[in-house]
Chain A
Amino acid sequence: MKLAVIKRLGLFFIWILLQVVLFNTINLFGYATPFLYIYPFICFNTQMSKNEQLLWAFFVGLAIDLFANTPGVNAAATLVLVFFRLPILHLYTPHDSWEDVMPSVYSIGHIPFLKYLISLVLLHHLVLFSLDAFSFINISLLLTKWLVSSMFTILCLWGISSVERR
């Protein structure tokens, strides 16, 4: 149990480091920034305690926020992602197949995983960008940023999930 927590801590540490040093500096076409640190949350085992998932989501999101000067924004978005993860997975996969599974391209299949991924990333980024904008009224810019960044994140995470064989 303890070992699992330390392992997870190490994993998140690497993702946070990559996100703040590398991914946050990417600004493709002036619009797209990938938020790949959400990958471990997408792949959490469905059996994992929901409270634990939420706590991880909050603290990892907060860590990203500290580095990006957006206190609370990533934390709120990641919490939403984790909260709606299982209901969304439920939508796209047969009832009996998601009892004890770590969602990936190989465990639930390409199409269901892609649907699951697209829904979650769109949701996460929507919360993220609207909270980041906060008192900033420029809907078309917000939508462009949201869609382009989501697309970027989805492509990257789909690639990672396809490459990562377990």
Chain B
Amino acid sequence: MRHLIRFLVHHNYIFLFLLLEFASFVLIINFNYYQQGVYFTSCNRLVGSFYDVTGGISSYFNLREQNDSLVSSNIRLQQELTLLQQQLNKQQQDSLYRSLEQTPMFADYTLYDARVINNSVNHLNNYITLNKGAKDGIQPAMGVVNGNGIVGIVRAVSAHYSLVLSVLNSKSTISCKLKNKEFFGYLLWTGESSQEAQLCDLPTHAILQKGDTIITSGYSALFPEGMMVGVINKIDHAPDGLSYILGVKLSTDMTHLSAVRVIANNKREERIEVESKTVKE
């Protein structure tokens, strides 16, 4: 007994080691399974304000690329606009069409502008920190986009900062569909390249080819329908033979993020209420 006690006293660091390891695992599990833990992330006050400064500095380094991407997206939109105007002119002879009211894409949504102050692409689960938080109206489960496409989903907010689950995160699933067709699936990230993700669950009877555009489906309350996601660059079949696994080249360059918009769905609560009611019945 005395030997045992002497051994334990002499090796008390083993207990400290186990205790601290235990504390670490509590943190890991808490963060992975419960959404509340904001304090041990970059969206707490201290780390947030630190990244506010460093993010502000580093955002100057990729101004050139930001500009280039804005110019190219402007040109693309300009072209689409001309095309649509031409089509509209043709259609307008039809009086029935004229009476149809066109609702704009963001009618039910509020957009908050925010800036990325910290971003990672090298983990298997990546997160982004934004410089806006609860005080600016940001809430968990809002979609985040930039000029080129989707960026992620707000996971947790503190008063002044928010933590975004990047598209490049194995826990992120976003409902997507083929542009101009009603086949839908969900977007996953496999951890390999920061340029690519996978689209799963798309039924095999869907007609598609490489280069087809993938957009958000609007089936979840996070993103409105039609936000750009990427284009198909690889077509594989799932092991079950019933669906495709598509490689998607993301339209957003996740390595250079700066200005983003957070999308708040004004009718989200109403929608969730209706949906949960239906499930109960």
Q: Is the C-beta of B63 less than 8 angstroms from some C-beta in chain A?
A: no
27 contacts between A and B (CB under 8 A): A27-B194, A30-B122, A30-B194, A54-B17, A55-B16, A55-B20, A61-B24, A62-B24, A62-B40, A66-B40, A66-B42, A66-B44, A67-B47, A69-B42, A69-B127, A70-B31, A70-B123, A71-B30, A72-B25, A72-B27, A75-B20, A75-B24, A76-B21, A76-B28, A136-B125, A136-B170, A141-B192
Contact of A72 (CB < 8 Å), options: B12, B16, B31, B46:
B31
Instruction: Report Cα–Cα, A77/B101, bound state, in Å.
Output: 59
Q: Is the C-beta of A41 less than 8 angstroms from some C-beta in chain B?
A: no
Is B120 a contact partner of A69 (Cβ separation < 8 A)? Answer: yes
Q: Footprint of A on B, CB under 8 Å?
A: 12-13, 16-17, 20-21, 23-28, 30-32, 37, 40-42, 44, 46-47, 50-51, 54, 118, 120-125, 127, 129, 163, 170, 190-194
Is B31 a contact partner of A67 (Cβ separation < 8 A)? Answer: no
**Given A75-B24, A79-B21, A50-B124 contact (CB < 8 Å):** no
CB neighbours of B20 from chain A (8 A): 54-55, 57-58, 75, 79
Is B30 a contact partner of A133 (Cβ separation < 8 A)? Answer: no
Question: Which 4 A-B residue pairs are closest in the complex by CB-CB distance?
Answer: A72-B27, A71-B40, A50-B13, A76-B24
Smallest beta-carbon distance A68→chain B, Å:
7
Is A69 a contact partner of B12 (Cβ separation < 8 A)? Answer: no
Is A68 a contact partner of B120 (Cβ separation < 8 A)? Answer: yes
Instruction: Report Cα–Cα, A72/B25, bound state, in Å.
Output: 6
CB neighbours of A68 from chain B (8 A): 42, 120, 123
Instruction: Report Cα–Cα, A126/B181, bound state, in Å.
Output: 45
Instruction: Report Cα–Cα, A67/B48, bound state, in Å.
Output: 9
Is B28 a contact partner of A79 (Cβ separation < 8 A)? Answer: no
Is A71 a contact partner of B23 (Cβ separation < 8 A)? Answer: no
**Given A72-B26, A133-B124, A134-B32, A54-B191 contact (CB < 8 Å):** no
CB neighbours of A21 from chain B (8 A): 54
Instruction: Report Cα–Cα, A68/B27, bound state, in Å.
Output: 14
Within 8 A of B (CB), among A52-98: 54-55, 57-58, 61-62, 65-73, 75-76, 79-80, 83
Within 8 A of B (CB), among A26-56: 26-27, 30, 33, 50-51, 54-55
Smallest beta-carbon distance B244→chain A, Å:
20
Task: Tell me whether chain A's interface is mostly helix, strand or loop, or mixed.
Answer: helix
Instruction: Report Cα–Cα, A131/B262, bound state, in Å.
Output: 30
Instruction: Report Cα–Cα, A50/B191, bound state, in Å.
Output: 37
The count of chain A contact residues (Cβ–Cβ below 8 Å) is 40
Instruction: Report Cα–Cα, A27/B255, bound state, in Å.
Output: 10
Is B13 a contact partner of A132 (Cβ separation < 8 A)? Answer: no
CB neighbours of A55 from chain B (8 A): 16, 20
Is B122 a contact partner of A33 (Cβ separation < 8 A)? Answer: yes
Q: Which residue of B lies closest to A57 (CB)?
A: B20
Contact of A83 (CB < 8 Å), options: B17, B31, B37:
B17
Is A66 a contact partner of B13 (Cβ separation < 8 A)? Answer: no
Instruction: Report Cα–Cα, A54/B16, bound state, in Å.
Output: 7
Instruction: Report Cα–Cα, A75/B28, bound state, in Å.
Output: 10
Within 8 A of B (CB), among A121-136: 129, 131-136
CB neighbours of A65 from chain B (8 A): 27, 40
